[in-house]
Structure 1
Amino acid sequence: MDSWDEGGVRARIREMAARDPGLERFGADTHRYELGPALPEAEIRAFEETHGIALPADYRSFVAEVGNGPAGPCHGLMPLTVPRPEAGEEWAVDDEWEQDRLPGRLAAPFPLPEPRPGPIGPPADALSLGTLMLAEHGCGVFDRLVLNGPRAGEVWQIDPDWGGFVPVRPDFRAWYADWLASP
C-alpha cells in the first residue's frame, strides 16, 4: 500500500499547528506546519530520469499525492525539486540539497552494507552517495533516504561527529508517520 491519505495527513498537520501556535516544537519555526502542493507526475518522472534513479514508492507517492515539503520531521521535509525558499541566512542544508543534485550522485551505489555507528569524520559526504537528504536535525546531522542497493527505501541518519551513519526507520512511510503520530 503506497498510497497516502492526503486529507488525513493535512488534517493532522493542521491539528499539530493548532497545538503549537508559538512554533515551540523542534523545527516548527522552520517548516511552520506548512505543506506545499503535490508534484505533478511529469515533474517526478523528469527528476528520476535526470538522476537515473527510481524513488522508493512510499516517498514517491507522498510527493505526488500529499506535498513536496516542508512540514515534517526535524526542520522539515526538504522539497524534491526546488530548493527551500530563501530564509535570509545560509544553512548547511542548502549545500547538502544542492550536492545531492550533482550528476550521478543519487544513482551512485550506496556504499554501506551495514550501519556504521560512532564518529565517522570526514569525508562523510562519500558515505551518503546513493541517498537523498530528507531533513536536517541541525549541527550537520541529516536524515537520508537510501535510493539503491539492498538497503533501498530505508531512512538512515548521518551524524559524522557522534552517531555515525545508521538506519532509523525501515522506510519513508514509517519515518513520516512517526512524526505525524508524535504528541
Structure 2
Amino acid sequence: MSDRIWDGVRERVAALGRANSSIFGMQGHRFELEPVLSPGEVAELEAQIGTSLPADYRAFLLEVGAGGAGPSYGLFPVRRVDGRWRWDGDGADLTELGRLAEPFPARGPDRELLTALRAEEPDEDEFDDEDEFDLVYEAWDERYTAVWWSDDLTAGAAAICHLGCAMRQWLVITGPHGGRIWSDDRVDGAEMTPLLDSSGAPVTFTRWYLNWLDEAERLTSPEREPAT
C-alpha cells in the first residue's frame, strides 16, 4: 500500500460537508475532522499506552485528523484530558487504556461458564416474593454480565466507533490482529467478530475508512441513480 494513502483525504471529507451530504451517521460528525496530532503528541500517546499504534492509524492521526468524520457516527477522537490521552465518544470508555499493550485475544467469552450461568437463570414463577426474585436475579445478572462483557475480551483493542443502539467497532492495537477492525454486537447477544470484506478478508483500518469515504462520495455524487 502506498505511503501516501492518506493524501487528499481531509480535503475529500471537507468537500462532502460542503455538498451537504446526508448519509447515515453524519448528524454525529457533520463531516468535520479534528486537527491532526503532532509527532510528539502521538509519541506521548504511545508512551502512555505502552505500545505502538498500527502504522496506518498512526499515519491517519498525523495526516488526516485525530478523529471526527468517519463510518457510522464517526471516528472517536483521541484527546488529551488532564494530561492523559484517551479515546472520546459513546462507548469509548470501554477501552482499557492500561491493557492496550496486551495482545488482543481474538476469542469469545468462556462458553462453558456462560452455559452454566444460563442454566442457573432464576425463574420468576419459582418465587412467591417479587422483591426476593429481583434480588436473586440481580445477583445472577451481575455474574453473567461480568463474563459476557469481560475486559479480557477487548484487551489490546480500542473502541473507535459506534453504530447506534450500543453496537460498536474496535480497532485492534496489538497482537496478530493488529490494525484490523472488529465488530461488537454483544448488546444483541452476538459475540465480537472480525469485520470482513466481500471476499472474506479481514478489514484493516485503512480499508474501513476509505470504503466509507468512497461510499459517501458515491451517494453524494449528482450522477448517482435516484433511489427507487
TM-score under structure 1 length normalisation: 0.79
Alignment check: 8 A CA contact 2:6 2:60 kept: no
Aligned equivalent of 1:87: none
- Does 2:212 match 1:179? yes
1-structure distance, mates of 2:163, 2:37: 25
Superposed displacement of residue 124, structure 1: 4.9
2-structure distance, mates of 1:172, 1:45: 19
Alignment check: 8 A CA contact 1:77 1:135 kept: yes
Superposed displacement of residue 153, structure 1: 1.1
Q: Which of these residues, 163, 188, 191, is aligned with residue 164 of structure 1? A: 191
2-structure distance, mates of 1:123, 1:162: 11
Q: For residue 69 of structure 1, what is the amino acid of its counterpart?
A: G
Superposed displacement of residue 69, structure 1: 1.3
Matched ranges for 1:1-183 at <5 A:
1-6=2-7, 8-19=8-19, 21=20, 24-82=22-80, 93-94=89-90, 96-100=91-95, 102=97, 104-112=98-106, 122-160=148-186, 161-168=188-195, 169-182=202-215, 183=219
Q: Label 1:77 to 1:48 Cα distance change in 2 as closer, same or farther (>3 A).
A: same
Q: Label 1:141 to 1:2 Cα distance change in 2 as closer, same or farther (>3 A).
A: farther
| Structure 1 range deviating more: 71-80 or 121-130 | 121-130
2-structure distance, mates of 1:140, 1:124: 16
The gaps in structure 2 that reach 5 residues or longer are: 82-87, 109-143, 196-201, 220-228
Superposed displacement of residue 147, structure 1: 1.1
1-structure distance, mates of 2:66, 2:170: 16
How many residues in Structure 1 have an aligned counterpart in Structure 2? 165
The gaps in structure 1 that reach 5 residues or longer are: 84-91, 115-119
Q: Which structure has the larger Rg? A: 2
Superposed displacement of residue 113, structure 1: 5.3
TM-score under structure 2 length normalisation: 0.65
Alignment check: 8 A CA contact 1:3 1:61 kept: no
Instruction: Point out 4+ residue stretches in structure 1 off by more than 6 angstroms.
Output: none
| Structure 1 range deviating more: 67-76 or 155-164 | 155-164
